[in-house]
Amino acid sequence: MGNDGGSIPTRRELVREAARAPSTAQVKETQREQQEHSWTTCPISHKSLARPIVSDSVGNLYNKDAVLQFLLPGDDGEGISSKADCEEILCGRVKSLRDVVELKFEVDTELAEHPSGRAHAPRGRQEAWICPITAKPLGPNVKSVYLVPCGHVFAEEAIRQLKGDKCLQCNEPYAEENIISILPIKEDDKKRLIARGFKLAEQGLTHSLKKAPSSKKRKKHADTADASAKEVAGSDASKNPADPKDRSNTSTPVPANGSSSGIKNAATSSLTARVLAEENEKKKRRKMMGQSSTISSLYSKKDGGKDGAAKGSDFMTRGFSIS
């Protein structure tokens, strides 16, 4: 193409049709295809959605067995994507089963018994899910929601018209903020669900309104540290305080102003007490050494030494005499 004696084509000749922004119809068609795929396929296992089905805090659908395989420790589970791919799909939203809610769909038994009626179900799914109130088929063409914590699924139209604070099937109470949109398309719905997740995290709750397991772990570690500190303090108190070797472990120093140390951590307070006790013990030993007559006789005295030693003499200058 060119540089061989012929003409050199220009970009206008190579690119015959310039790239254009997709039209509104094309955008809607793309969204419909994505919704169709998300309503029928698990993004973790890439298999058809089949009950039991769970949902995370932003309304995505997964097979429960695929989520269980992802949460199991060890290598990548069989039948699912790699751990890295699953983490990228989940975005850290699913760390335990408390971060998902199992959905309870109403199955149209008449359509399930007659193969001709399966046309109402999305392609790739054998069951036809319907709203128990409006009897509309649930799927990419109907905006659907579910309630937390019970997990019953309805058409959004039914929840909006029949306003209440109890589930229409199990009569379990729920709050308005716990109405979760399934596979939301609007940005407002997505932002609302994300804000709800942050709010629950600040309260120490998960998507299913259960307490986060991390708070219990922190409390367990704190209890273990306090128990170990008490054991150390008990072992120090059980030793004999009369023994000068153990005096550093049993004595509890008191500040000069008479107030307590103010350290709340038991382990840190015990360690600080030991260090201060050792310092006090060293000071006592120095004081005892200064009062010893044998050691003090080696140094000069104002009124003369023993055996008529000269005034101001010491062990370097007084000399040696045999009695």
Same-domain status, 185 and 241 = no
Based on the fold, state whether residues 196 and 241 are members of the same structural domain: no
Packing angle, helices 213-237 and 266-290, rounded to 10: 20
| 301 CA to centre of own chain | 73
User: What was the pLDDT predicted at 7?
Assistant: 77
Max Cα separation, the chain?
132
237 domain-assigned: yes
Same domain membership, residue 250 and residue 174: no
**Residues 270, 166: one domain?**
no
More confident residue, 229 or 99: 99
| Helix H or strand E segment including 180 | strand 179-181
* Range of lowest pLDDT (43-57, 182-196, 281-295): 281-295
Joined tokens for residue 225: 């540290």
Cα–Cα distance list, 121 to 24, 104, 132, 221 (Å) = 26, 16, 16, 50
- Write the pLDDT tens digit of every residue in 10-47: 777 777 655 677 788 888 888 889 999 999 999 999 99
- Is residue 207 scored above 70 in pLDDT? yes
Q: What is the pTM of this model?
A: 0.60
**Can you list the positions of beta strands (E) in 29-178?**
53-55, 61-63, 101-103, 106-107, 129-130, 144-147, 153-155
Number of structural domains (the chain) is 2
CA dihedral over 72, 74, 78, 79, signed as positive or negative:
positive
| Last residue in a domain, options 202, 221, 241 | 202
Omega of the bond leading into 244 within 30 degrees of 0 (cis): no
In-domain check, residue 295? no
Kindly state whether residue 315 falls inside one of the protein's structural domains: no
Same domain, 233 and 139: no
Query: 238 and 171 in one domain?
Result: no
The token duo for 44 is 């973790």
- Residues 87-96 have a mean pLDDT of 92
Residue 198 domain flag:
yes
pLDDT of residue 256: 44
- Give the residue with greater pLDDT, 193 vs 286: 193
Could you give the CA distance from residue 283 to residue 110 in angstroms, rounded to a whole number? 93
pLDDT band at 145 (very low <50, low <70, confident <90, very high): very high
Cis, peptide link before residue 149, omega less than 30° from 0: yes
HEC sequence for 197-246: HHHHHHCCECCCCCECHHHHHHHHHHHHHHHHHHHHHHHHHCCCCCCCCC
156/185 same-domain check:
yes
- Beta carbons of 155 and 138 less than 8 angstroms apart: yes
Calpha distance 50→64 (Å, rounded)? 9
Q: Is 321 domain-assigned?
A: no
44 and 188 part of one domain: yes
From the CB of residue 154, how many other CB atoms can be counted at a distance below 10 Å?
Answer: 24
Please list the residues that pair with 142 across neighbouring strands: 139
Residue pair 63/49 in contact (Cβ under 8 Å)? The answer is yes
> Which of 157, 178, 202 is the C-terminal boundary of a domain?
202
* Mean pLDDT of the 149-172 span: 91
Distance in angstroms (rounded) separating the CA atoms of residues 132 and 109: 12
Statement to judge: residues 150 and 187 lie in one domain: yes
Residue 96, in any domain of the structure: yes
* Residues 42 and 186 placed together within one structural domain of the fold: yes
In a domain, 293, yes or no: no
Helix, strand, coil % in the chain, rounded to nearest 5 = 40, 10, 50
Closest by CA to 56, choosing from 158, 184, 175, 166, is 184
Q: Is residue 312 part of a domain?
A: no
Residue 224 lies in domain: 213-255+263-285
Confidence of residue 233 (pLDDT cuts 50, 70, 90): low
Same domain, 193 and 244: no
Residues 127 and 153 in one domain: yes
For residue 258, the model assigns a pLDDT of 42
